[in-house]
Amino acid sequence: MKELAKTYDPKQMEDRIYGEWLEKKYFHAEVDRSKKPFTIVMPPPNITGKLHMGHALDNTLQDILIRYKRMQGYNALWIPGTDHASISTEVKVINQLKSEGIDKNELGREGFLKRTWEWREEYGRTIVDQLKKIGSSCDWDRERFTMDEGCSKAVQEVFLRLHKKGYIYKGSRIINWCPVCKTSISDAEVEHEEQAGHFWHINYPIKGSDKFVEIATTRPETLLGDSALAVNPDDERYKDIVGKTVILPLVGREIPVIADAYVDKEFGTGVVKITPAHDPNDFEVGRRHNLPEINIMNDDATINENGGKYAGMDRYEARKVMVEELKEQGLLVKVVDHVHNVGTHDRCGTTVEPMIKQQWFVKMEEMAKPAIEAVKNGDLTFVPERFDKTYLHWLENIRDWCISRQLWWGHRIPAYYCDDCGEIVVDREMPKVCPKCGGTHFTQDPDTLDTWFSSALWPFSTLGWPENTEDLDYFYPTDVLVTGYDIIFFWVIRMVFSGYEQTGKCPFHHVLIHGLVRDSLGRKMSKSLGNGIDPLEIIDQYGADALRFTLVTGNAPGNDMRFYMERVEASRNFANKIWNASRFIMMNIEKAEVPEAMDPSELTGADKWILSKVNTLAQDVTANMDKFELGIAVQKLYDFIWEEFCDWYIEMVKPRLYNEEDQTKAAALWTLKTVLTNALKLLHPYMPFITEEIYRNLTGEESIMISAWPEFKEEWSFEKEETEVELLKEAVRSIRNVRSSMNVPPSKKAHVIVVSEKPEVRAVFEGSKSFFGTLSYASQVTVQADKTGIGEDAVSALIPDAAVYMPFAELVDLDKEIERLKKEEERLTKELARVNGMLSNEKFISKAPQSKIDEEKEKLEKYTQMMNQVKEHLNALVK
């Protein structure tokens, strides 16, 4: 047995241990039909990313699950990988080129892509190396990249299949457009933030009359593209104008007034302007009523030729000019301050412009159906379950998915245009002859696919699909996906419908949703607030185990958590506690022979108690982890290791360890080693490094990672001994409380006399004198049936079925003891009143479960007994 270092220093062991794990390939999994597989795919972080607290939490939760299942004997596979992150990577490379005085367009597409691959090789693995620092036990031999050869092949295959099926088409629909990055972006890349704005109330003249229709808009510049005004068909205020025509202010174009149920009668004036080319809801209304779609903006968000005299102006410049002109013409009714959510591009912060454009889309109506059914029939479960509603709401209201991006970095769309007739041919390679006109010259579509298109295939493309690989057959579907609630709509849903469409199976059985890691004030961590905390700095200072433990403690699925440095320090202190306790145990084991096995008859009551406790702990922690209650499980581990094992049991056995003549010393050492070994195994998924270091030195075994997960053993269940030791603990706590209230220091020993009429209670104390005396600071312990020989000035501590006396009047202020007993009498009076009140309440008796009624009756008996003892002691002291 190797001795542990005197102090716990994670810097001296974490990198070394991780390197040994990698070298021995403990994380690697191959198909093994004799074992049941358990598979997780890592949500691929962007290659532009650096480790933040969200990554740390997400990957810690995954690592806990995979380590747990690995120890349970599953063939556990955790597939890591990274995402090519089209927009953010392209921005990084463009900025790098700018610093060198190079323009992207001068370099050309091929030259730019060459530089981007070089950038990826140099910087794209930063996040991977950082994930290793927190102990992620991924199968790095299987690491994937969304643009590697296999994933790219899968992307092309899916595009071709969906296009052939008629699910992929090119058409004009509303998309999110970034005027700075000059590309369409997905809903997942739009951040909605509250901004102070206005409602501009504008009068639209009704043709052929002197009347007006008042509308309210937050984007007055878009009136240039208005195709109609709309009212609710049930709105009595406007029934007479439906079918009439209004004159579009500043433009003079005539547009109809239509009736559509989309309009909310209670919102604004009850009349809305319909701009089909610049609002997703208006687009749908426009299609229903066959309205013209008038795009008024260029790609840089300046007004185009459809804007007449405003052409060339920036959208906000045009707004300013138009508002002034509306005011001059008497058509601006009023301006009302209004705070509303505005969509901005999460990469550059630019306000996104909803715009109708020719793009590639995926039809979603049919593909959404099996994804909806998956949750309804239980094939897919969310933890917590409440996220079912979020998932279903989004799917049941899904729109066609815009999948094309005006970028160079990414999977290029496999569509080719005949230079002679414009025919579109979708194929794996550029066609040689046009099927329509026989032309031989083609140009490939310049766009790339949305990054989410490739990541939607992640659970099966990483296992070799579209080839029918053995890995795919064995490890797919995966078991659990771990992700934050902020991404559920986009990535999770797209993986589910893609999984069903391409493989006929749901890609995972469970989705564990976690919340955000916020700062200590509850704010979202962000660069703008400057409140971000670097996980690597925490690891450098406190160790990865302390960070992991902090992130999981108190963590409940779906809920946000606040990050406090005080909690990190507490986690580090917990690691120190484990380390020091382990050193103590190992130092004592080295001095004696510890048997490999121990007959229960050779164990003391204290040994059986802690063995029974760790046995129950294994059962409870396993049940919690199976239900993904990782925060509850880790709290139970903390309470057991810190309190039950370190603060109680180790202190209980010290007299036996220090007494060479004690016949139970071997049993104590065996119990210490056995319980510590099992506790380390249970803690390993949460704190992998410290548990590995201690376990290997304690047991001499190769690794805790490949050891067996503790299981409940009937032969380790000792209910009688658990009850007995809990009684002893209550007595010790009572004695310590009394001494503390009188400011008696631990160094002052006193004769402790335990009095109980019950022989079985006296037997418990008689059999535990050695450690009971130590824990209660006793100079001597006497156990007897009555108060014979106890002086009237003795101080007492009361427990059910027994009283403990300490005749050391010289250390005690009797007035304080009387005051304490009177307070106890007052407390018990209230408790008895409460219990009697409940038991005399007919409603309680008739409605409460019998177990609750029995519990209150037991309390009544206990409090009555304790009250009698208090009064007896008071009578003895007050004369």
- Extract the annotated binding site for ATP: 527
Residue 153 and residue 465 in contact, taking contact as beta carbons nearer than 8 Å: no
* Closest C-alpha among 404, 403, 414 to residue 447: 404
Kind of pairing between the strands at 478-484 and 508-514? parallel
Report the amino acid identity of residue 687: M
Which residues are within 8 A (CB) of 265 and not within 5 positions of it... i.e. 6 or more apart? 232, 234, 235
Report the amino acid identity of residue 428: R
Q: What backbone phi and psi angles, to 5 degrees, belong to 555?
A: -80, 125
Q: What is the DSSP string of 517-554?
A: EE-TTSPBP-TTTT----HHHHHHHH-HHHHHHHHHTT
Here the tokens at position 657 are 């360890």
Kind of pairing between the strands at 190-205 and 332-345? antiparallel
Distance CA 650, CA 667 (A): 13
Q: Say if residue 538 is exposed, middle or buried (CB neighbours under 10 Å; 0-12, 13-18, 19+).
A: buried
Helical pair 650-658 and 665-683, crossing angle rounded to 10 deg: 150
Residue 183 and residue 407 in contact, taking contact as beta carbons nearer than 8 Å: yes
Percent helix, percent strand, percent coil in the chain, to nearest 5: 50, 20, 35
Residue 753 and residue 807 in contact, taking contact as beta carbons nearer than 8 Å: yes
Pick out the residues of the known binding site. 527
Distance CA 168, CA 474 (A): 31
Q: Count how many Cα atoms sit within 13 Å of the Cα of residue 781 in the half-sphere of its side chain.
A: 24
The DSSP code for 555 is: -
Residue 296 and residue 278 in contact, taking contact as beta carbons nearer than 8 Å: yes
